[in-house]
Structure 1
């Protein structure tokens, strides 16, 4: 552990890491959200067959920029979110280590969990707004299909819904429910993020410590940090996927015609298991791994590259 904890460069590195990582993997994250949200229709039919089918249909129907729906709010808030997550873990590891600079495994887990708990202040509203924008195309397709099967001209002649934006959604939630309206699904978000961070950060630290060191530095070479982030991200992501499915469904404000609604975490778990079976809790797992593994591999690599130290003229250890 560093003898000193330099906050500013760590915050800057965390923000840069988040922006670069999210830009690279956002389209896969959109596909993940839509796969997790889709429920079988009355005849058991599904709008999307798999990851590839969802990606192709989304691109064909909504174009290149449709693959980045919700990315604006994500990029705006990912800077503080990633800064809190990465810097928070470093901070807790710093204050929990012994005088000899050693950290027990239990304290490593506690440090990760603490970072995950801190980040939900930003993560919950960010995820809530992002999910509405990402899922709009899927829910609109279900509504359109349901309306086309009715003979009611009043229903069929309904004008298309207004174009969504993060600002409109946020203002509507605040007007209806106050500031806490932006924190719908906060409990499920905490369940996912705290568990994820408690698994990810200790695993990454141990994997990264095994790698070759950069010349004149105590940091691992960039490719080893990248691989460590990918492996740790993949493991933690798969472990918490059921929590992510529940979080996604609880935070989806507009359900398609005939889709199930949920009153809370336990209710959502119960209904998903009853109506769709245990496999449903791992919907989007491959997509989530494809998002999280490279996201954290890229983020950890950028975080340790020392961009902020270079810009600020600070010597990196």
Structure 2
């Protein structure tokens, strides 16, 4: 009987309390600085690689009825031929200045909304994830995206050769800060928020679909693979697939947004496009319903790989930041124990 008694004694274990289980299973929440660095790195890499497709998309969307029509590759060829290769990167400074705060706002606000919408068990339903994504898209559109895109589109829409010093010297918009000042001085500070309604709707739909799809596929895949983290190629694949769904639905909003942000406000003149609900009928009546999907090819070619790169970079940087944070935490604990 002695051996069995000893065994029973060894097997006795205090049951885990809910608090203990939560302490063990709940990962430490990522800070705003964490989102700032990981999101900023993701945005920087994505925009550096994919920006030329955004320039091509903008030029295609600004082409109106009566103008010559060109596809993706011909538009790119004509930009390079007439304005030189660096012209494909017009407006990139505006993107860089907006991408770090945008990504920080996107990921941090998504996590904040998700925490608010979580149930008593800490889990978030698909509807909650959708609403958190919608909220993050609206937040980034108001705080960052709209004024940054007004400046970016003004820079992208300028027809001048990047290889001609005379044309460069005479261009109206030179960089993002100077563009913002010129627009505000000539058209009022409100001009930096042209197209805010379609931008809010576009970003909201994009991030709602984006985060919902990515989180659902990621969760299902990790459960099936019995792992806690995605591999880099998995983050790329799932990010690309989730990123491609939003543009198919909301491209008309992007076309209207681009037209509103491109046009200049002249005192005493009624602008051609005065809002989303007025602009859509005008575009359809003059150019046909398919004009609302102008630029969809370069937009998909930019957003799908862009989201693939964004999620892969974000997960990669976030994972390595967590490793560094854990190492620093362990070192601090060891130092404190030695000091005692």
The TM-score range, normalised by the shorter chain, is 0.7 to 0.9
Q: Distance in 1 between matches of 2:81 and 2:326?
A: 49
Q: 1:129 aligned to 2:138?
A: no
Q: Deviations over 1:258-305 (max 9, x none)?
A: xx8211111111101111111111111111101111111100111111
Q: Deviations over 1:80-123 (max 9, x none)?
A: 11121122212222232123232112111110011011101100
Which of these residues, 32, 44, 60, is aligned with residue 35 of structure 1? 60
Per the alignment, residue 296 of structure 1 pairs with 307
Q: Distance in 1 between matches of 2:322 and 2:123?
A: 31
Give matches, 1:170-181, under 5 Å.
170-181=180-191
Per the alignment, residue 282 of structure 2 pairs with 271
Per the alignment, residue 111 of structure 2 pairs with 90
TM-score for both structures, normalised by structure 2: 0.78
Answer yes or no: is the 8 Å Cα contact 1:132–1:254 preserved in 2: no
Per the alignment, residue 83 of structure 2 pairs with 62
Per the alignment, residue 293 of structure 2 pairs with 282
Q: Distance in 2 between matches of 1:270 and 1:93?
A: 37
Which of these residues, 59, 79, 103, is aligned with residue 124 of structure 2? 103
Q: How many matched pairs?
A: 288
Greater relative CO (CA pairs within 8 A, separation 6+): 1
**SS of residue in 2 equivalent to 1:192:** helix
Per the alignment, residue 192 of structure 2 pairs with 182
Q: Distance in 1 between matches of 2:46 and 2:60?
A: 21
* Higher helix proportion: 2
**Gapped regions of structure 1 (runs ≥ 5):** 142-159
Give matches, 1:197-216, under 5 Å.
197-212=207-222
**SS of residue in 2 equivalent to 1:263:** coil
Q: Post-superposition shift, 1:178?
A: 4.2
Q: Post-superposition shift, 1:184?
A: 1.3
Answer yes or no: is the 8 Å Cα contact 1:5–1:94 preserved in 2: no
Answer yes or no: is the 8 Å Cα contact 2:57–2:295 preserved in 1: yes
**SS of residue in 2 equivalent to 1:313:** helix
Per the alignment, residue 153 of structure 1 pairs with none
Q: 1:164 aligned to 2:170?
A: no
Per the alignment, residue 12 of structure 1 pairs with 37
Q: Post-superposition shift, 1:182?
A: 1.3
TM-score for both structures, normalised by structure 1: 0.83
Q: RMSD of the alignment, in Å?
A: 2.6
Per the alignment, residue 232 of structure 1 pairs with 242
| Structure 1 residues 254 and 280, CA gap change in structure 2 (3 angstroms) | same
